[in-house]
Amino acid sequence: MFKLSENSKLRRDGVDNRLIEISNLALKISTIDFGHPADAGIRTAERQNELFKMGKSLCDGYKIKSKHQSGKALDFYAYVDGKASWKIEHLTLVAAAFLQAASVLSYKLHWGGFWKTFQDYPHVELVD
pLDDT at position 93 = 98
CATH number of 102's domain:
3.30.1380.10
Whole-prediction pTM value?
A: 0.94
Share of the chain above pLDDT 70, in %: 100
- Mean pLDDT score, 34-48: 96
Q: Which residues contact 41 (CB under 8 A, 6 or more apart)?
A: 11, 12, 13, 14, 15, 68, 71, 73, 74, 75
* Residue 25, in any domain of the structure: yes
| Residue 117 pLDDT | 87
Check residue 106 and give its pLDDT: 98
| Helix (H/G/I), strand (E/B), else coil: 106 | coil
- Say if 1 falls within a structural domain: no
pLDDT at 24 (0 to 100): 97
- pLDDT tens, 60-82? 999 999 999 999 999 999 999 99
pLDDT value, residue 53: 96
pLDDT for 1 beyond 90: no
Q: Is the pLDDT of residue 38 over 90?
A: yes
Beta carbons of 21 and 105 less than 8 angstroms apart:
yes
**Residue range of the domain that includes 90:** 6-126
Q: Tell me how many domains the chain contains.
A: 1
